[in-house]
Amino acid sequence: MTETGHTSKNSAHQSADGRSQFIPVLKTDIVTTLTHSGLTPDQQGDFETLCSFLGSYFHHDFFDELTELKDIYAWFSPAGPRPAKREPPDGGDAYRRLTETFDSVLKRANFTEVSRADVEALGGEHPLLDVKTRTPMQAYESIRIFYRGRHAEKVAHAGALGVGKIEIPVEVFDDVVVFVRFKQTLSAKRGRLALRRGTGLPGDAQPGSVLIKSFRNISRFELPMLMPDVQVVMSRKDAVLLGGPALLGAVPIALNILPALSVVLVVAGAYLGFSGAPTQEKLVKAVAALSVLVGAGAFMFRQYSNYAFRKLKYQKRLADNIYFKNINNDAGVFETLIGSAEDQEVKEVLLAYHALLTGGPAANEAELDTRIEAWLKANFAVDLDFEVTDALAKLERLGFLASKDGKLAAVPLGDALTRLDTLWDRLYDFSPKPHASVAA
């Protein structure tokens, strides 16, 4: 059976009330606002230094994951240089390590995985573009879709019979990542669908390869368009607009085509000496009959051309719609995700530390959580579910968290800078062994 999803480890990044845990504010804006909120002029300089050091520390913290992702993905990349060895040193375990590391980065970047049921239901009518798509699920071994942040929009759409405009409410995902692995063995008939030449896929999507793409501002209706080798098929609207006139026009043609064909056969037989001599009257009837046959052929060709043109027009609209929303592809996605994960981690630490530093100790996690969420809503008009437990865990690992009268508290700014400086020194703590003197 085709594996179309996993049990989502990222579901925690969406609260029970549907709020996202993604912080959709630039780190620079958060740092600037925090620096001028509740800090004395003497503290502001130290706080900016702390923000800069934290960014560098987390950047180094993610370096190993970025390197591992790039190294492992080289075995599965549909394009680009391959490792010198023909097979991964650990066989199938390489793919497991790739997905585990990839999931870890997505989790830290606050992405949520689309459910397996929703992924399997991809395809069908697209109400915004008047198109119907079919996703070649039989070509995929695994297909996973992740999103981060979402909002509602209303899109203007033509009304019935193209008259007037109606507004359709749509759910739009701010960021989307698609992870697809093609089957390692594909049948000649069904497998070639997504692996045939000329599909435009990187490296022609070799069996067993992994395709990764990231997009921006994708509506739920547009998710099927993100799949490799998605097909445009005739929709009900196309069937009515093209099939209706074809059926009506075919009736009179069908009534005349048999008599016309019989006349042509009779005249042809006369010329070949099978049935008497051809007469002027028979020739006139034969010409008329041929006109009917040519008209029938022209009608069929026109209907096919109409459908081919309509399909080509839809494919162009699909390509145009996705072209400007594609952010990165394959190994380049790792750079985008790692940078985003770094930003999220730093923002969570800064928000939690600043809330304790300026607002004083918090009785518990719930109080701190409420304090941070209220600050974000007041300063940036964003309503989210802040990951206070994760933020406190990072503060504790950094040595920024203290306890005061049984409450959660922050260490002073000077102490935080000293501890961060110590952590940074330990990253490059190298003590070479003394070499023996040559003279000795």
| Closest to 179 (Cα-Cα) out of 93, 105, 91 | 105
Count of structural domains within the chain: 1
- 96/73 Cα distance (integer angstroms): 11
Domain range enclosing 263: 237-317
Check residues 403 and 262 and name the one with the higher pLDDT. 403
pLDDT in tens, 251-309: 665 555 555 556 556 656 655 555 555 555 555 555 665 665 666 667 677 767 777 77
Sheet holding 124-126, edge to edge: 124-126, 131-134, 231-233
| Closest to 178 (Cα-Cα) out of 142, 206, 203 | 142
**343-347: average pLDDT:** 94
Provide the token pair at 369: 């959580």
Beta carbons within 8 Å of 116's beta carbon, 6+ residues apart: 4, 5, 6
The letter for the amino acid at 4 is T
Position 295 scores a pLDDT of: 67
Q: Is residue 218 part of a domain?
A: no
- 26/202 Cα distance (integer angstroms): 32
DSSP collapsed to 3 states, 169-209: EEEEEEEEEEEEEECCCCCCCCCHHHHCCCCCCHHHCCCCC
Q: Is residue 292 part of a domain?
A: yes
pLDDT for 2 beyond 90: no
When mean pLDDT is compared across 252-261, 319-328, 361-370, the lowest value belongs to 252-261
Position 158 scores a pLDDT of: 62
Position 184 scores a pLDDT of: 75
DSSP state of 243: I
SS3 (DSSP) at 304: helix
Position 236 scores a pLDDT of: 61
Q: Is residue 347 part of a domain?
A: no
- 60/53 Cα distance (integer angstroms): 11
Check residues 256 and 67 and name the one with the higher pLDDT. 67
* Residues 238/307, Cβ–Cβ less than 8 Å: yes
Give kind and range of the element (H or E) at residue 413.
Answer: helix 413-427
Position 385 scores a pLDDT of: 92
Q: Is residue 264 part of a domain?
A: yes
Q: Is residue 296 part of a domain?
A: yes
pLDDT for 13 beyond 90: no
Q: Is residue 18 part of a domain?
A: no
Beta carbons within 8 Å of 349's beta carbon, 6+ residues apart: 54, 391, 394, 395, 398, 400
Position 152 scores a pLDDT of: 84
**CA dihedral sign of residues 356, 360, 365, 368:** negative
Give kind and range of the element (H or E) at residue 324.
Answer: none
Q: Is residue 417 part of a domain?
A: no
Position 113 scores a pLDDT of: 93
- 317/323 Cα distance (integer angstroms): 10
| Closest to 140 (Cα-Cα) out of 110, 183, 104, 170 | 183
Position 229 scores a pLDDT of: 75
pLDDT in tens, 143-167: 899 999 888 887 776 655 556 677 7
SS3 (DSSP) at 134: strand
Q: Is residue 253 part of a domain?
A: yes
Tell me the C-alpha to C-alpha distance, in Å, between residue 375 and each of 149, 315, 401: 19, 46, 20
Beta carbons within 8 Å of 63's beta carbon, 6+ residues apart: none
pLDDT for 194 beyond 50: no
pLDDT in tens, 15-44: 555 678 899 999 999 999 999 999 999 999
pLDDT for 243 beyond 80: no
